[in-house]
Amino acid sequence: MTIQKLSRRTFLTTTASMGAAVAASGCAGLRRSQAARRRQPNILFVFADQMRAQEMGCAGHPTVRTPRLDRMASEGVRFVNAVSACPVCTPYRAALLSGCYPLTTGMFLNDLRMPTNIPTVGTVLRDEGYHMGYIGKWHLDGTNRGVFTPPGPRRQGFDDFWAVANCTHDYMKAYLYRDTPEPIWLNGYEPDVQTDIAMEFLDAAPPDRPFCLFVSYGTPHNPYELMPEEYKIYRPEDIQPRPNCPKPSLKDIAGYCSHITALDRNMGRLLDAIDQRGLAEDTLVVFTSDHGDMLGSHGQQRKQRPWDESICVPFLIRQPGHVPAGIKSEAIINTPDIMPTLLSLCGAEIPPHVQGEDLSKVWTGHSRNAPTSALTACYVAFSEGKNFPEWRCVRTNRHSLVRNGLGSWMLFDNREDPYQMNNLIESPGHSEIRSRLEKDLERWLERTGDTFEDPFYYIDTFGYPVDKETKHIPYYVEYGKSD
């Protein structure tokens, strides 16, 4: 697959015409017979914020209890090499919806507003006749984190059901917007209420149309302690820190694990709701996260780092009768691959601008022809990442090669060294694999039009008004405005 880099002006002009073409072709989807529509699967796409791949019982975690996610893994496929293309919130979400890499869309910083003329998974499935819904964190509507996203193009196709806050992480004093600019303040722990709202969506979904519901939880993202007291089920003394964590904050990790078990409980509620409504065989359920959390591993915190704690995310799928059960797959999945794969599974045409791979046959067990590597990157290290160098990483199902602005920096054998504690970049015995991975990384950079420039080159190219010290676009919170 050839990936072309376009200037932002060329890209937005090109995608405007693409969007019109996709919308026109989508009218055919609206005219399909009811019988044809019933053959299209429902989509329930659930993703956490800042949950790393290692933090599930089915992934071998020694402490955290995730029986519902473990059940989902036993009833479907767990992909153990799922990667976040740019491990930070807004860039991931833009890549998820558009199927494009961040330098193509310009969405490589937090608090950017996503262009509205790029066909997304939402607009395409809407035009296919899907009943579209989005619940939870959005973080694609600009610098006002309290903004009201009005009905229309800024909802990116999720037009039928909207219960969203642009960006908030106060899980005990949360709010959302529906279709008016008055914030609705939630009573209780935010993920619990969001799951209640998902039940509302399922009950109201029209029976003669397939549905697509995205549920975006804000947890287990910090603050780690914000939850009801009875949900704090892990004590710091219960925690076994990862061996690569020299100075762990056991209190933070205990809170993080508690958020995950609460999230697991809500995922169980969603799975039960699908089953009890007789929708299991008709509904593809996906569970994943936007990126991970270092939590002290390698002496680092949060995301925007090239180690697996930051870049690797959980990825589970389930659809009885259509997805094989109890499979642990080593196939590589990258964020831009999700959009075209979902469209293909729904029988929808993939727009020509999409850069990700259609992995529908891999997901359903009909092919093992998956990509051999994934590109993940930090193009501009901002805010929490401001004192860390920008980097590019190519990750296979065994190795990681990381390059910074000075050249190849780290090489890990993730099979022999799962905690990535032994940097092999200067190892004579690994010169051949290093050379092969460096060539692979070069191919990825060429395919995505990335010449690995200084971060301010990208900031200036797209004209973003960043804070010069943090390299972050300054954000604020003002409720009820639509900007």
Query: Does 89 participate in catalysis according to the annotation?
Result: yes
Distance CA 407, CA 39 (A): 50
Closest CA to 77 of 311, 284, 334, 358: 284
Of the candidates 89, 212, 312, 393, the residue annotated as catalytic is 89
Question: What does the alpha-carbon distance between residue 146 and residue 143 come to, in Å, rounded to a whole number?
Answer: 9
Partners of 44 in the β-ladder: 213, 285
* Catalytic residue, candidates 58, 86, 100, 139: 139
The DSSP secondary structure of 269-288, one letter per residue, reads HHHHHHHHTT-GGGEEEEEE
The one-letter amino acid at 450: D
Buried b or exposed e, range 234-254, using 16+ CB within 10 angstroms? beeeebebbebbeebbbebbb
Q: How far apart are CA 212 and CA 43, in angstroms?
A: 4
For residue 280 the two structure tokens come to 């299991």
Q: Say which residues have a Cβ less than 8 Å from residue 17's Cβ, sequence separation at least 6.
A: none
Whether 164 and 138 have beta carbons less than 8 Å apart is answered as yes
Question: Which is it for the CA torsion 354, 149, 224, 63, positive or negative?
Answer: negative
**CA torsion angle 30 36 37 40 (round to 10):** -120
Q: Using alpha carbons, select from 245, 307, 252 the residue that is nearest to residue 84.
A: 307
Per-residue tokens: 182: 């008055």
Q: The sheet that has 391-395: what strands, in order across it?
A: 374-378, 391-395, 399-404, 407-413
399 annotated active-site = no
Helices (H), 405-470: 431-447, 455-462
CA 67 → CA 59, 74, 113, 458, distances in Å? 12, 10, 37, 43
Straight-line distance from the first to the last Cα atom of the chain, in angstroms, rounded to the nearest whole number: 38
How many of the other CB atoms lie within 10 Å of CB of 442?
13
Query: Are the C-beta atoms of 440 and 108 separated by less than 8 Å?
Result: no
Q: How far is CA 420 from CA 82, 116, 250, 307, 308, in A?
A: 17, 40, 21, 7, 8
Instruction: Please report the beta strands in 234-352, taking only residues with DSSP state E, as ranges in sequence order.
Output: 283-289, 315-318, 327-334
User: Which residues participate in catalysis according to the annotation?
Assistant: 89, 139
